[in-house]
């Protein structure tokens, strides 16, 4: 699915960085501990997290994450937003919590 379509199919989305929205992804990952994510996340997977520290951008770059989705309405730190903008990583917040948004994504066909 295209990133753009995924975001359009979710409610309560706020887009912070619009980038690479034509990119396709079929994989997803959820995790808030960055060491864990660095060690376990698959490549090119959409990432659901509540972690809004600037280091998220570095990990997203490492793992070629096309979209960072901040759950529970978490806003990115200004540093994270700026870094995602610089690196061309799509960044959005969604009101629903991680569990709910993962469920919706899975139902859309995003799974590993």
Partner 1 sequence: MDLHIHTVLSPCAELDMGAPDIISRCRKEDIDLIAITDHNSALNCEALVKASSGSGVEVICGLEVQSSEDIHVLCLMPDLGKARAFEEWVRKRLPPFRNIPGKFGDQIVIDEENHVIDEFEFLLVQGIDATADEIIEETRYFGGLSILAHIDRPAYSYVAVLGMIPENLEVDAVELSGRLSASEALLWLEKAGERPVVRSSDAHTLKDISQTRATTALLEEPSFYELGLALKGIDGRRVLWPWGQDNY
Around Cβ 86, how many Cβ atoms within 10 Å?
A: 12
The answer to whether residue 38 forms part of the interface with partner 1 (CB under 8 A) is: yes
We find the least distance from the C-beta atom of residue 58 to partner 1, in angstroms, to be: 7
- Between 59 and 94, name the residue whose CB sits nearer to partner 1: 59
- Residue 67 near residue 88, CB atoms below 8 Å: no
The answer to whether residue 35 forms part of the interface with partner 1 (CB under 8 A) is: yes
How big is the site for partner 1, counted in residues (CB under 8 A)? 13
The answer to whether residue 91 forms part of the interface with partner 1 (CB under 8 A) is: no
Q: 51-58: long-range contacts (C-beta < 8 A, 24 or more apart)?
A: 52/76, 52/77, 52/80, 53/77, 53/79, 53/80, 54/79, 54/80, 54/83, 56/80, 57/83, 57/84, 57/87, 57/89, 58/83
For 87, the token pair is 């690196």
Question: Using CB under 8 A, which of the segments 3-11, 53-61, 92-100, 102-110 binds partner 1?
Answer: 53-61
The residue within the footprint of partner 1, chosen from 59, 65, 89, 105 (CB under 8 A), is 59
The residue within the footprint of partner 1, chosen from 34, 61, 96, 108 (CB under 8 A), is 34
Residues that bind partner 1 (CB under 8 A): 32-38, 51, 53-55, 58-59
């Amino acid at each position: 699915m295209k990133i753009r379509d995924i975001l359009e199919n979710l409610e309560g989305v706020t887009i912070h960085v619009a980038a690479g929205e034509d990119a396709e992804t079929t994989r997803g990952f959820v995790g808030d501990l960055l060491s864990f994510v660095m060690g376990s996340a698959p490549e090119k997977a959409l990432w659901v997290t509540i972690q809004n520290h600037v280091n998220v951008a570095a990990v997203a770059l490492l793992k070629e994450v096309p979209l960072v989705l901040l759950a529970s309405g978490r806003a990115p730190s200004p540093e994270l937003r700026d870094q995602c903008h610089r690196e061309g990583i799509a960044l959005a917040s969604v009101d629903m919590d991680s569990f709910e948004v993962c469920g919706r994504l899975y139902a859309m066909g995003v799974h590993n």
